[in-house]
Amino acid sequence: MKVLVGVKRVVDFNTRIQVKSDGSGVQTDGVKFSMNPFDEIAVEEAIRLKEAGLATEVIAVSIGGDKNQDTLRSALAMGADSALLVKTDDEIQPLMAAKILKNLVEQQQPKLVLLGKQAIDDDANQTPQMLAGLLGWPQATFASKLEIDGDTAAVTREVDAGLETLSVDLPAVVSSDLRLNEPRYIKLPDIMKAKRKPLEVIDLADLNIAASASIATLKTSAPPQRQAGIKVESSEALVAELKARNLV
Ligand code: AMP
């Protein structure tokens, strides 16, 4: 079973985001970028499937600029077998990402596509669903447990009422939630080994996919400053404060 994993390069989750003074976006100069945390979980899950003898090959794919090669090298260091970069300097919105991933799926014929449930830069949570729709494949989003049994996958998802387990026929698109696993720590020898693994770069223009940017960002602004909290001396004082603010 071949597994294709989406890997997006995003501003590191530990970075304090600064909005540009003209409101045209967030500062990216001199800012640390890393693999989208949910994609790290997806890569880890794919590698675990390979280690369990359920997957035969793990291909990490990314769409973006040349620097995405670093992100793909991290996926290779974690244990992916090969990597594919679809190179573009344009902004890639979820529908376009889904169209590009569909093209790669048609080329690579994986039985499972593992993506993150959302990218922490756009927080869109759309690409996996759109990809499944475009492919006409089953989808199981927000996976917190994945079990493969022959041509089906049992996917446990965290929903408001608790845990829900879906059975989907493969091929399918699955998106990872936070509790699916804890990604492994990359060791230095793995980084060295990753340098020798295949990483193919394809120009987006060569895939002949009609550009589709249907969303325009009008303005980016910082959230309002949070008010400082207050300290109360007793639970009675806490209840009195909450009552005074009509919160209980
Ligand atoms: P989004 O719909 O933007 O929140 O992204 C959801 C998931 O789709 C991400 O966690 C990735 O797995 C995948 N994805 C989105 N954009 C890209 C990209 N440019 N390159 C690779 N994977 C992507």
Prediction pTM value: 0.92
- The residues spanned by each domain of the chain are 2-244
Say if residue 207 is exposed, middle or buried (CB neighbours under 10 Å; 0-12, 13-18, 19+). Answer: middle
Q: Is the CB of 126 under 6 A from ligand 1?
A: yes
Q: What is the pLDDT of residue 215?
A: 87
> From CA 29, how far away is CA 32, in angstroms rounded?
9
Distance between Cα 93 and ligand 1 center (Å): 9
For the domain bounded by 2-244, which CATH number is listed? 3.40.50.620
Q: What is the pLDDT of residue 210?
A: 84
Q: What is the pLDDT of residue 248?
A: 87
Which DSSP string corresponds to 128-153?
HHHHHHHHT--EEEEEEEEEEETTEE
**Of 148, 149, 166, residue with least CA distance to 157:** 166
> From CA 209, how far away is CA 122, in angstroms rounded?
22
Q: Is the CB of 131 under 6 A from ligand 1?
A: no
CA–centroid distance for 223 within its chain: 24
Q: Is the CB of 94 under 6 A from ligand 1?
A: yes
Query: In tens digits, what is the pLDDT along the chain, a chain of 248 residues?
Result: 999 999 999 999 999 889 999 999 999 999 999 999 999 999 999 999 999 999 999 999 999 999 999 999 999 999 999 999 999 999 999 999 999 999 999 999 999 999 999 999 989 999 999 999 999 999 999 999 999 999 999 999 988 899 999 999 999 999 999 999 999 999 999 999 999 999 999 999 999 998 777 888 899 999 888 889 999 999 999 999 999 999 98
The protein residue with its alpha carbon nearest to ligand 1, atom 17, reads 8
Which residues fall within 8 angstroms of residue 95, CB to CB, at 6 or more apart?
Answer: 126, 130, 212, 214
Which residues fall within 8 angstroms of residue 92, CB to CB, at 6 or more apart?
Answer: 63, 64, 100
**Of 23, 18, 11, 10, residue with least CA distance to 218:** 23
Q: What is the pLDDT of residue 151?
A: 96
Instruction: Identify which of 5, 8, 130 to mutate to test ligand 1's pocket (most ligand atoms within 8 A of the CB).
Output: 8
Angle, helix 94-108 to helix 127-135, in steps of 10 degrees = 50
Which atom, in ligand 1's list, is nearest to the CA of 176? 10
Angle, helix 37-51 to helix 68-78, in steps of 10 degrees = 30
Q: What is the pLDDT of residue 211?
A: 79
Report the 10 Å Cβ neighbour count for 103. 17
Distance between Cα 212 and ligand 1 center (Å): 16
Tokens for 152?
A: 């089906």
- What are 64's strand-pairing partners? 87
The protein residue with its alpha carbon nearest to ligand 1, atom 22, reads 6
Q: What is the pLDDT of residue 225?
A: 87
Q: What is the DSSP letter of 206?
A: G
CA–centroid distance for 190 within its chain: 22
> From CA 33, how far away is CA 14, in angstroms rounded?
10
Q: What is the pLDDT of residue 199?
A: 98
> From CA 200, how far away is CA 81, in angstroms rounded?
12
